[in-house]
Structure 1
Amino acid sequence: MPVSLTAQAALALCLIYYLYSIIHALYFHPLRRIPGPKWWIAFPVLRHISAIRGLVDLDIPQFHLKYGPIVRFGRDEVSFIDPEAWKDIYGHNNKHGQLPKVKNSASNPLDIVSSNDVDHSRYRKSLSHAFSAKGLQTQEPYINNYVDQLLARLKDVAQSQTPTDMSKWYELTTFDIVGDLAFGEPFGGLVSSEYHDTVKTIFESIKLFPFVKMRDDYPILFSFISLMIPKRLLEAQRQQNAHTRAAVMKRLANTSAYNRGDFMDSMTRNRGDKDGLTDDELVANANILIVAGSETTATLLAGVTYFLLRNPETLRKVVTEVRSVMQTESDITPTSANANHPYPYMWACIQEAFRLYPPVPTGLQRVTLESMLIAGHEIPPGTKVSVHPLGASWSPVNFHAPERFLPERWLPEARTDPASPFFLDKRDVVQPFSAGPRNCIGRNVAYIEMRLILTRLLWNFDIGLCEESSAWYNQTAYTAWEKPPLMCRLTLKEN
């Protein structure tokens, strides 16, 4: 057969197979009865294009508004927004333990996020001392030190009467804190007012994941898709890994840093033992701690600041609460700020910010191993399932007036008074630190940081939002939000 005819026949067979796969996905697939966008199901590349543009986690909530509490948004991908789905997907499955995580070629089995259950338990145990009540108490002076530095820098800004980017200040602070707790030294952001090179590479490398997922789903196009990946993203990932390894090795060589009670001290307690972490495992988990322990906290602080400034009456209430509870600023400590009782309205504001603007807006996917019930729906084996944080939080199925920033929905009376418009709100669907055995181990230190920083900020300053940041909330997301500057005016409060 002539080459041209052979090529034509091969092309025809490919087209026939592709058409068959579309028809099967739409009309014969085990998930065919679950509603969802048919174009995305027929042409999965559309989902990848949306992710590369930073829009997929904004599209999925719209699908839930259109199709309901369960949405099929890919050939084998299903999203839920029912509170029960958290337990079904992320809890213990009776037969198989935890559902396995969906991994990609960039996943590192040596870190606490992507590891198997046995290693995850070992990594979590190695970190348990750092995140225990005693460990957190040991870390309070380090946290206080950087919050003091932040307040000193902001007082200089207020006196200069120059608008400033609060989102950047939050990031500089949280990265300095986690740098000190992980490596024994900060990134120096609060001193220089600029991002360290490592921090810059983290922001860049996060955008690599949509390309990796697309490349994994289309292995036959591996070379072509690899060419699509911007070189700066690949270089950023390489630099980030190199910076982290160098910082870990430097910390391990610093004998004076032993017994600091920080993250690295906790992870190296059993170094050299059977269950101790290897150097590669220390580097991999330090990478996770740097990203998860800084960017998420800074994102929440930026979000709650924006929502407060866009809602003057809410801001007035929380400022009044903060300034009336403590007699002096020195009374505001990590311990006092971390208690729910002194600041119930501020805590409600933080929870409402978690709902409207979760620091990790994407669904954390698991794979079903066999047919199982999730939120009352029969799901076949081999399905990628997740609870989508934005889809759940923005849904009128779960919340009254879901698009509005209303901290009152989190106050105790909203839960107990049937006359409250928020009485039927499904608050359990908001799980910003995930759920189950793999929930975020660092949630308590994150709570300490965000409460302490917000409390001292509101105690010291009157804050206003600059007009240029009025639409700050309109953002894209690449697993984490791509935040524009949050320009604010700071004025020292009158005595």
Structure 2
Amino acid sequence: MALLSILLAAAALAAIHYCFIQPLYLSPLGRIPGPKLYALTKWRLAWEDWCGRRTRTIHRLHEQYGPVVRIGPHEVHFNSLTALRTIYGPGSGFGRTDFYRMFDVYGEQNLFTFHSSQDHGERKKLLANAYSKSNVIRGPVAEMVSAKIQEYLRLIEEKGGGADEIFTSLHYYSLDSITNFLYGPGTGGTEAMKGNEMHRALLGDILDPARRRLSWFAVHCPAFTKWLYSRIGLLGRVVAPFLPMRKPATYSGIRAHALKAMQDCKADAKSGAARGNSIIARLFKAVSSGMADLSDLEIASEVADHFLAGIDTTSDTLMFLIWALSLPQNHQFQQRLVDEALAIPPSSLDAHGSPTVEAADKLPFLDAVIKETLRLYAPLPASEPRQSSTDTTIDGYEIPAGTVVAMEPYSLHRNAEVFPEPLKFDPERWLGEPGRVAEMKKWWWAFSSGGRMCIGMHLAMAEMTLVPAIYRKYKTSIALESRGVPPGITSRFEVFADETFERVEEHTCKIQFLPHRKGRLPPSE
């Protein structure tokens, strides 16, 4: 009995040492400020994930504890330029964590999910030229974007002056743009804006709110989630009520479409009838010429990942931009953009009278509006985790190998010392004193940075040409039924919107388009 008591006491002491003393006082991370409960267990932050407030919680922790905060037993969050350069800058030794493996497609890794910079760099070489600014702002890609802009303008015209629900219609625009860029027309390029119901249905699983719950399980309980979704037959029917998201789960339709597109493109490549210079055609050419050694599924995974990445990000940004300009208190910014769009010379317009992509790229106030939209309403505002295989010192703190480190655009973009009145939409801040603008650009992190910077950045900016095309023809205002309620978007586990409003209407944004020849903007409320 005495021996049992000694063993129990020893076990209790060992548990106290391992669970409390070691993480709080003996770990090198013990010096880093932050709530003690977060330092003791990863499940404290996982609860914030479940409640859909992780990003805002981390921001509040930075406000309370400073630019370095311990948010888990082996996780540290930063909010400084020195950390930004160290973790994400060129030549950084920090790779992506296993978190990103949830974005593998067909069981294959891709540009987004590679851990090592070497694997990422080798794959990026095959794609960088296709996504370069010089390739995007003129030539076939720019012509494709211009064609999609005309299709969107026709959607507005079909409303005949009525309110348009632009969250959905802008998703059609971004869907058609990215698929035609990646696959080309006829082999995966969609026609959602032309009314193709099968293509429009691809957005269904993106819009399902249950995707946030599935993301939580995939991140925090990956093995269990994989087991749940791999059950079939009787056991599959038993576990069905417990699935975080009913089958087919998130992106199933999109991935099926992408796989079929790969097979069609492969057939074209074999027959010598490969269409155009799409991304997937480039990859098949690279394989056939010996420049790359990629399986069919690796090609399918790569392109499907770009497909998924290119829908929400662009459409959500466009939606928030139009919504913000349509607020009564921002009508002076809208008018300035209208004036800039109308001043574009005829030589810089396409055959339909809309600005060319190259012309839109040179509009200073449009650039300011886009930057401010991405600052305040970044479509991916949450943490971007990284991990190093060697010990590092960041902002004066020792970071052991294997520690997860991260930063988030949300907090960088709300530094009041850099962005006065950070919650205020003010595009003119980007046209101010050059020194201050230069400092803001250092903190602006909408597309990440370093070697992992968003490869689709220039394509996304090209798609923003839709904005001056709209404002050359229309003025916009918030539809009566949507006034006082901002639109919300889903990002991982959370819903994001303009936080100066109390209510949010997820996935809905109704805008009134008023042709310039008719009426005036409603008076400020």
TM-score category, normalised to shorter length: 0.7 to 0.9
Counterpart selection for 1:489 from 501, 505, 512: 512
Please state how far the C-alpha of 1:87 moved relative to its aligned partner: 1.8
Shift of 1:469: 5.0
Q: 1:145 and 1:415 mapped to 2: Cα distance?
A: 36
Shift of 1:174: 0.8
Q: What residue number does 2:503 align with?
A: none
Determine the C-alpha separation between the residues in 2 that align with 1:368 and 1:330: 51
Distance in 2, matches of 1:177 and 1:404, equals 31
CA distance in 2, matches of 1:376, 1:357: 31
* 1:260–1:231 distance in 2 versus 1, CA, 3 Å: same
Q: CA deviation at 1:258?
A: 2.1
Q: In 1, Cα distance between the equivalents of 2:84 and 2:61?
A: 19
Counterpart AA for 2:338: V
Q: 1:230 to 1:15 in 2, by over 3 A?
A: farther
| Structure 1: stretches of 5+ with no match in the other structure | 417-421
Q: Does 1:312 align with 2:328?
A: no
Aligned residue among 432, 454, 464 for 2:477: 464
Preserved CA contact (<8 Å) 2:338 2:472: yes
- Aligned identity (percent) is 22
Counterpart position of 2:499: none
Change (3 A) 1:456 1:132: same
- How far residue 33 of structure 1 moved from its aligned partner, in angstroms, is 2.1
* Aligned partner (choices 313, 321, 344) of residue 364 of structure 2: 344
The aligned runs of 1:149-298 (5 Å cut-off) are 149-157=151-159, 159=160, 161-185=161-185, 186-192=189-195, 196-204=200-208, 207=212, 208-216=214-222, 229-232=243-246, 235-254=249-268, 258=274, 260-272=276-288, 273=290, 275-298=292-315
Q: How many residues align?
A: 472
Q: Deviations over 1:382-438 (max 9, x none)?
A: 211122110111122432111111112211x4224xxxxx56953311121111112
**Alpha carbons 1:206, 1:480 under 8 Å: kept:** no
The answer (yes or no) to whether the contact 1:54–1:477 under 8 Å persists in 2 is: no
Distance 2:149 2:273 in 1: 21
Distance 2:423 2:121 in 1: 38
Q: Matched residue of 2:162: which SS?
A: coil
The alpha carbon displacement at 1:277 in A equals 2.6
- 1:485 Cα shift? 0.6
Q: Which runs of 5+ in 2 are unaligned?
A: 231-238, 497-505, 519-525
Change (3 A) 1:480 1:121: farther
**TM-score (norm: length of structure 1):** 0.85
Is 1:332 the counterpart of 2:364 in the alignment?
Answer: no
Residue range with higher mean Cα deviation, 99-108 or 385-394: 99-108
- Mapped to 1, the partners of 2:206 and 2:150 lie a distance apart of 25
Q: TM-score, normalised by structure 2?
A: 0.81
SS in 2 for 1:235: coil
Choose which of 48, 55, 58 in structure 2 pairs with 1:57.
55
Q: Can you list the C-alpha shifts for 1:247-294, whole angstroms capped at 9, x where unaligned?
A: 211222235862512211222221232624321111111121112222
Q: 1:245 to 1:75 in 2, by over 3 A?
A: same
Q: In structure 2, how many angstroms separate the alpha carbons of the residues matched to 1:408 and 1:252? A: 48
CA contact (8 A) 1:360 1:479 kept: no
How far apart, in 2, do the equivalents of 1:257 and 1:67 lie? Answer: 60
Cα displacement (A) at 1:222: 8.7
Amino acid at match of 1:189: A
Name the residue aligned to 1:454: 467
1:106 paired with 2:106, answer: no
Aligned mates of 2:275, 2:135 — CA distance in 1: 11
The one-letter amino acid of 2:300's match is: V
Give me the CA root mean square deviation.
Answer: 3.2
- Which AA in structure 2 matches 1:336? A
Counterpart-to-counterpart distance in 2, 1:36 and 1:408: 36
